[in-house]
């Protein structure tokens, strides 16, 4: 049965498995672990562990039945698929110096995976590489992956990293299991069906080191009973650091697998309830020796806070690549407008900014005699018009509003809104591109919502530069400035999704994405800043920025799959909105981050630095970004001359 139910959470992390020994009675194995033990699936060996191909003597017919754990008929296809993860024989060593063992290992690996595929299992657990060298193991797995349909291969990796920072980073004694994983997946060409099953041990690496794994394709976390502590009542529990890690796995759809034997001396008469480390009661059913460990994992799951409404709304967008809007080239549809208009937080911030601007523009003694001219450029279906008029009402100031909108379909809605609200004497609707409009008078305040996920990526600078000519010399622009930010990230899923297109174009495109399964490897740094109004005589919106990111020493090595981009905007004075993680406006969902992929991921070693260049370029008909890494190794310049991705003027 699932660990519990959380509103909106339908991820696989609700299901907990158990690692078992070989049993040629698979139906009994499922009954004892699923029915009696309340686990959701078993990680079970497929083949008798004593089997070695080199020891098999063929019978007179020239064939032999392989010692698999039962026929495919002992379970229905759905039972095999839903409740069994195949465990590949742990003795195999494809990089052994022993030629017979190496040959036996390769033969057995292919036989077992072929059988698991025949059974339509969802996944198979591969044993951990026996040493740092795993070239032949990876070669064989890569061969298998080329012909595998939908089954996942989970490579078992112990969660180990030496914390001795005094050691030479090139020392053979430095242990970092991430390096083994990275070598293996590089040899397998980042194959999307190759994932990780992390072995959680008694001690854990640093928080920075653990953080790397949340950007990798971790599917399961195997926690041995030896890693559990004992609480005051004699029941298993986990350290605070282990609890935090397991909760993080729950949030990233990682399934927990209990492994090992009962190592806790449970109090007598514990058939009623067990107690967790915080003294709360959990189900103490005794149908299975590992049930107390399952109950504790279920307790950790059930005590998590429910997903907020905003996160439930965003679940379907997690790690889903979307092309950014082309607001000048394309007219938005009604559904897009409606989604953005539901973001009340954004419009509250705009209303606060307009309030402050009106109070600064019009003293209290002139409130009844002075009318402020406010222009909403890119008015859409009118949410900024409404926010501006509400600001005028709140401050007791008089407004005359021009609503400028190029989308003729949205203009229809604007006319209906003005008539419905009785704004005919206050609001004038202009159906025109703001860059081509000849305004009848100058504006005191210019309001726009042309910002993209990277700040300027929906051409706010070009649009506002074009509209600036009808703003008074002392006029106020809302927003008054905005800055883009980037940071290097590990994002295995996003990289594989881009790679699946098998072309350069998709690697040279920036995507809007709700980042979730990513590891942020360094704090963000600012890239481009734009200020409005811009009274410079030599005005150019082209930009170049070189950035250097330092990797913390205790992180260990990490893979950079690309860069996450954000923005922060100052609407007016101290009123801001944005999505840069350290200053993000709470509960605002109008913008997801932007993702700039790298064609070839860059491996960073502990204490090393990453140097990256970003350019904002423009031509007569388009604006585009170019980006490239120059250290520790050089990458190609991505999107040269806007050949793959650009925004049309």
Catalytic residue numbers? Answer: 449, 458
Q: Are strands 218-224 and 194-200 parallel, antiparallel or unpaired?
A: parallel
Instruction: Name the burial class of residue 432, with classes exposed (0-12), middle (13-18) and buried (19+) by CB atoms within 10 angstroms of its CB.
Output: middle
Residue 448: which of 473, 428, 468 has the closest Cα? 468
Helix (H/G/I), strand (E/B), else coil: 80: helix
Beta-sheet strands, E only, within 499-542? 511-513, 519-520, 525-531
For residue 295, is the peptide bond before it cis, meaning its omega torsion is within 30 degrees of 0? no
Peptide bond just before 632 cis, omega within 30 deg: yes
Q: Where are the alpha helices (DSSP H) in 227-287?
A: 240-251
Each as own residue / partner, the long-range contacts of residues 110-113 (CB below 8 Å, 24 or more positions apart, any chain) are: 110/140, 110/144, 111/47, 111/53, 111/66, 112/46, 112/47, 112/86, 112/88, 113/86, 113/88, 113/144, 113/148, 113/151, 113/153
Q: Are 351 and 391 in contact (CB under 8 A)?
A: yes
DSSP string of 485-509, one letter each residue: EEEEEE-HHHHHHHHTT-SHHHHT-
Q: What is the DSSP letter of 31?
A: I
End-to-end CA distance of the chain: 55
* Gyration radius of the chain's alpha carbons: 30
Phi-psi region of 131 (alpha: psi -120 to 50; beta: other; left: phi over 0): beta
- Which string of DSSP letters, residue by residue, matches 32-46? IIIITT--SEEEEES
Residue 137, number of CB atoms within 10 A of its CB: 28
């Amino acid at each position: 049965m699932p660990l519990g139910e959380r509103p909106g959470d339908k991820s696989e992390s609700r299901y907990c498995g158990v690692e078992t020994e070989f049993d040629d009675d698979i139906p009994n194995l499922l009954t004892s672990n699923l029915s009696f033990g309340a686990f959701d699936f078993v990680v079970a060996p497929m083949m008798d562990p004593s089997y070695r191909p080199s020891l098999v003597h063929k019978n007179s017919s020239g064939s032999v039945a392989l010692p698999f754990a039962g026929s495919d008929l002992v379970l229905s296809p759905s039972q095999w698929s839903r409740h069994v993860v195949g465990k590949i024989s742990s003795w195999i060593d494809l990089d052994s110096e022993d030629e017979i063992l190496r040959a036996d290992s390769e033969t057995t690996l292919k036989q077992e995976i072929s059988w698991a595929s025949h059974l339509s299992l969802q996944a198979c657990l591969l044993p951990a590489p026996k040493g740092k060298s795993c070239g032949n193991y990876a070669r064989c797995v890569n061969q298998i992956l080329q012909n595998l349909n939908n089954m996942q291969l989970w490579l078992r990796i112990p969660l180990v990293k030496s914390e001795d920072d005094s050691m030479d980073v090139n020392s053979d004694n430095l242990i970092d299991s991430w390096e083994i994983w990275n070598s293996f997946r590089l040899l397998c060409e980042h194959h999307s069906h190759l994932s990780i099953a992390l072995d959680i041990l008694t001690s854990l690496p640093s928080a920075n080191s653990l953080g790397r794994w949340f950007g990798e394709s971790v599917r399961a976390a195997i926690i041995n009973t030896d890693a559990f502590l004992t609480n005051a009542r004699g029941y298993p529990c986990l350290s605070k650091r282990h609890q935090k890690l397991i909760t993080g796995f729950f949030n990233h759809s990682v399934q927990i697998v209990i492994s090992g034997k009962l190592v806790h001396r449970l109090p007598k008469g514990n058939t009623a309830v067990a107690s967790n480390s915080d003294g709360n009661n959990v189900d103490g059913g005794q149908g299975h020796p590992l049930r107390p460990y399952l109950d504790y994992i279920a307790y950790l799951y059930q005590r998590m806070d429910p997903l907020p409404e905003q996160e439930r709304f965003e679940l379907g967008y997690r790690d889903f690549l979307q092309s950014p809007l082309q607001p000048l080239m394309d007219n938005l549809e009604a559904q897009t407008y409606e989604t953005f208009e539901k973001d009340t937080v954004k419009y509250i911030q705009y209303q606060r900014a307009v309030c402050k601007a009106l109070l600064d523009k019009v003293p209290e003694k002139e409130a009844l005699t002075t009318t402020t001219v406010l222009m909403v450029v890119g008015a859409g279906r009118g949410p900024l018009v409404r926010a501006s008029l509400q600001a005028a009402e709140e401050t007791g100031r008089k407004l005359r509003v021009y609503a400028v909108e190029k989308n003729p379909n949205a203009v229809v809605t604007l006319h209906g809104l003005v008539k419905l609200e009785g704004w005919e004497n206050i609001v004038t609707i202009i159906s025109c591109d703001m860059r081509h409009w000849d305004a009848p008078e100058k504006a005191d305040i210019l309001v726009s919502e042309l910002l993209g996920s990277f700040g300027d990526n929906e051409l706010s600078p070009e649009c506002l530069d074009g509209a600036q000519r009808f703003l008074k010399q002392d006029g106020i622009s809302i927003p008054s400035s905005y800055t883009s930010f980037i940071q290097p990230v590990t994002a295995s899923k996003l990289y594989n999704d881009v790679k699946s297109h098998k072309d350069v174009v998709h690697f040279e495109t920036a995507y809007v994405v709700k980042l979730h399964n990513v590891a942020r490897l360094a704090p963000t740094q600012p890239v481009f800043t734009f200020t409005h109004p811009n009274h410079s005589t030599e005005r150019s919106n082209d930009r170049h920025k070189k950035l250097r990111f330092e990797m913390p020493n205790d992180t260990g090595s990490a893979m950079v799959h690309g860069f996450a981009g954000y923005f922060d905007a100052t609407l007016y004075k101290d009123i801001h909105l944005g999505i840069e993680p350290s200053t993000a406006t709470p509960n605002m969902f109008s913008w997801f981050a932007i993702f700039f992929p790298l064609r070839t991921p860059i491996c960073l070693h502990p204490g090393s630095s990453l140097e990256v260049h970003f350019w904002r370029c423009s031509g007569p008909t388009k604006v585009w970004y170019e980006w490239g890494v120059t250290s520790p190794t050089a990458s190609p310049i991505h999107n040269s001359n806007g050949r793959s991705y650009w925004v049309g003027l």
